[in-house]
Amino acid sequence: MDSQNLLSGILLTILAIIAAVVIIGLIIVIALYFLDRKQKQHSILRNFPILGRIRYLTEKIGPELRQYLFDDDNKGRPFSREEFLHVVLPGKYLGSVIGFGSKRNFEEAGFFVRNAVFTKQVDEMKVDQSSPVHTQKYVIDSDDLFSRKEHTEAVEAKPWLLTDDNAVVLGPNCREPFHVKGMFGQSAMSYGALGKNAVTALSTGIGQVPGSWMNTGEGGVSPHHLAGGADLIAQIGSGIFGFRTEDGEFSFEKLKEKAAIPQIKAFELKLAQGAKTRGGHVEGDKVTPEIAEIRGVEVGKTINSPNRFRQFSDFPSLFDFIEQIREAGGLPVGIKIVIGSPEDAEELARYMAQSGKGPDFISIDGAEGGTGATFQDLADSVGLPLFTSLPLLQDALVKYGVRDRVKIIASGKIITSDKAAITLGLGADLINIARGFMMSVGCIMAQKCHTNECPAGVATTDPKLQNGLIVDEKKYRVSNYILNLREGLFRVAAAAGVDSPTKLTKEHIVYKDDVGRVYTIDELRTK
């Protein structure tokens, strides 16, 4: 009897709770109904209060629904789900083997690597494997519908480095040239655009696999860039953050201080970036006291760099400034550009030939490149995509006889080794990657980089959100991603019949249009 009374009491309590929830819910709905009827900002809510709320809720979660449920594996933008997995899985499991077949749509137009009839054997490849990399990878124990168990395992991985005779040398005539034996590096990403945990994980992960490099971005050299021991290219933007006096003028003394840091191997002047051919932009709520001190700006104040440097305004003054920096620092000096026309490439190459001066390397970014914050009109329509602009630069430098004086580092949505091979064939010497590295430390492409609300703790300076990114775990994913890229690039080079990725040229690349016609790069350029 007591048990029956207890059961009845529990049921009555549950019913009472349900009734209370329903009543409270009805009160909220009725209140919202009348509030929306009276408000004057949204016509949909005024005319259809309840349905309007549902519409706005659906619209709010629409990006997540499309990303995970409705877009197919190859249709997401700016990167598809398939491309995203090509970064995340190798970073986590140190492997990139697939089954059954490619998901690429082979009926669409695109570039392909021309395979050799007689490919290279693995033991014929010119590769330096003398210094194994100590890393960690995940191993799956079980993978059921509602549970997944895996553990980490320490492994010794091959480094897949270029041999000394194939190393890419930036600034061979500088006092301290930069010898590069890995063909992938991190493209410019500033501390401030990324949080300290993300920058530290990237620095440490890159530092664990010697041969690659990290570009600091225009926000200056931070302790977090230095923390992992990675080789650094120190970028100088139009705001000259980290290289400025108190009154905002360029300081050669600060440049010399940076050049004396052993990890800094080169300087890069950022004239433009693919997603924003203008100065950088950082929202004020990202500007912490530490970031303000590094950059020499005010705490909490939005930063908009000038559209261009005030130190030069044409090629003669730019090249003179490069000479001054090279002489003061003793390190290679490059420029980062976006090309908008054949005339731009011609003018640069022509003046290099006429003056005998110029940069030691050119970082060319395609219009499809990413950024922490920009404007839609610049991102969508200003500048040319990489696979269009890179051949323009390559041809112009060859035409004027200056190609042997300068190295080309290319960037623009290159996150896999096959795309890297095509990029090298079109004229690049090295590859810069930004968003691929972001994904390797946890980026889920939420596209909230400009809001300081990155849910993965990558593109944010909010301490609470950054807390989710564990440096000691993510650093290995960065290392594994690099190692997988390097191995894949050698694999593609072998398939193309060359013993080193440095020997990939335009003869190894073809273009197939949407009706099956095939063109060499020279034919495509004259078509």
Per-residue pLDDT at 246? 78
CA 148/CA 140 separation, integer angstroms: 8
The answer to whether the beta carbons of residues 523 and 509 sit under 8 Å apart is no
Q: Flag whether 84 is in a domain.
A: no
Among the candidates 31, 60, 89, a domain finishes at: 60
Query: Which residues on adjacent β-strands are paired with residue 162?
Result: 127
The reply to whether 53 and 126 lie within a common domain is no
Domain, as residue range, for 169: 122-495+509-526
* Residues 6+ positions from 3 with CB-CB distance below 8 Å: none
What confidence tens digit (pLDDT) does each residue in 434-450 have? 999 999 998 888 888 88
Per-residue pLDDT of the chain (527 residues; tens, 9 = 90+): 577 777 777 788 888 888 888 889 888 888 888 888 887 777 777 788 888 888 777 777 777 676 666 666 667 778 888 888 888 889 989 988 888 888 888 889 999 999 999 999 999 999 999 999 999 999 988 888 777 899 999 999 999 999 999 999 999 999 999 999 999 999 999 888 899 999 999 999 999 999 999 999 988 899 999 999 999 999 999 888 889 887 788 999 999 999 999 999 999 999 988 777 766 677 777 788 888 888 877 788 887 777 888 898 899 999 999 999 999 999 999 999 999 999 999 999 999 999 999 999 999 998 887 776 677 777 777 778 999 999 999 999 999 999 999 999 999 999 999 999 999 999 999 999 999 999 999 888 888 888 888 888 898 988 999 998 889 999 999 999 999 999 999 999 999 999 999 999 999 999 999 999 999 998 887 76
Among the candidates 60, 81, 99, a domain finishes at: 60
Q: Give the residue among 428, 432, 408 at the shortest CA–CA distance from 359.
A: 408
Q: Flag whether 71 is in a domain.
A: no
The answer to whether the beta carbons of residues 334 and 382 sit under 8 Å apart is no
Q: Flag whether 80 is in a domain.
A: no
**Side chain identity, residue 438:** M
Among the candidates 18, 39, 60, a domain finishes at: 60
**Burial zone of 37 (CB within 10 Å; 0-12 exposed, 13-18 middle, 19+ buried):** exposed
Q: Give the single-character DSSP code of 281.
A: E
Residue in the block written with tokens 């290392």: 479
**Side chain identity, residue 183:** M
The answer to whether the beta carbons of residues 219 and 238 sit under 8 Å apart is no
What are the backbone dihedrals phi and psi of residue 499, each rounded to the nearest 5 degrees, phi first? -90, 0
What confidence tens digit (pLDDT) does each residue in 221-243 have? 999 999 999 999 999 998 888 89
The reply to whether 293 and 442 lie within a common domain is yes
Q: Give the residue among 499, 447, 525, 510 at the shortest CA–CA distance from 162.
A: 499
Largest CA distance in the chain: 104
First to last CA, the chain: 92
- Taking the CB of residue 447, how many other CB atoms lie within 10 A of it? 15
Query: Which residues on adjacent β-strands are paired with residue 107?
Result: none
The reply to whether 268 and 392 lie within a common domain is yes
- Taking the CB of residue 61, how many other CB atoms lie within 10 A of it? 9
Letter string b/e over residues 137-165, b meaning 16 or more CB atoms within 10 A of that residue's CB: bbeeeeeeeeeeeeeeeeeebbbbbbeee
Structure tokens at 416: 């896999």
The answer to whether the beta carbons of residues 187 and 215 sit under 8 Å apart is yes
- Specify the CATH number for the domain of residue 217: 3.20.20.70
Task: Reduce the DSSP state of residue 113 to 3 states and report it.
Answer: strand
* Residues 6+ positions from 79 with CB-CB distance below 8 Å: 413, 415, 435, 439, 445
Q: Flag whether 341 is in a domain.
A: yes
Task: Reduce the DSSP state of residue 107 to 3 states and report it.
Answer: coil
The reply to whether 352 and 439 lie within a common domain is yes
Q: Flag whether 469 is in a domain.
A: yes
Q: Flag whether 74 is in a domain.
A: no
The reply to whether 146 and 241 lie within a common domain is yes
Q: Flag whether 72 is in a domain.
A: no
Give the pTM.
0.88
Per-residue pLDDT at 278? 66
Per-residue pLDDT at 259? 96
Q: Flag whether 321 is in a domain.
A: yes
Residue in the block written with tokens 């197919």: 72
Per-residue pLDDT at 137? 93
Structural domain count, the chain: 2
The reply to whether 140 and 15 lie within a common domain is no
CA 484/CA 93 separation, integer angstroms: 10
Helices then strands, each counted (H, E), the chain:
18, 19
Residue in the block written with tokens 């009897």: 1
**Burial zone of 93 (CB within 10 Å; 0-12 exposed, 13-18 middle, 19+ buried):** middle
The reply to whether 128 and 49 lie within a common domain is no
Q: Give the residue among 99, 125, 160 at the shortest CA–CA distance from 486.
A: 160
Q: Give the residue among 219, 290, 289, 285 at the shortest CA–CA distance from 452.
A: 285
Per-residue pLDDT at 70? 64
What are the backbone dihedrals phi and psi of residue 318, each rounded to the nearest 5 degrees, phi first? -65, -50
CA 119/CA 78 separation, integer angstroms: 34
The reply to whether 322 and 451 lie within a common domain is yes
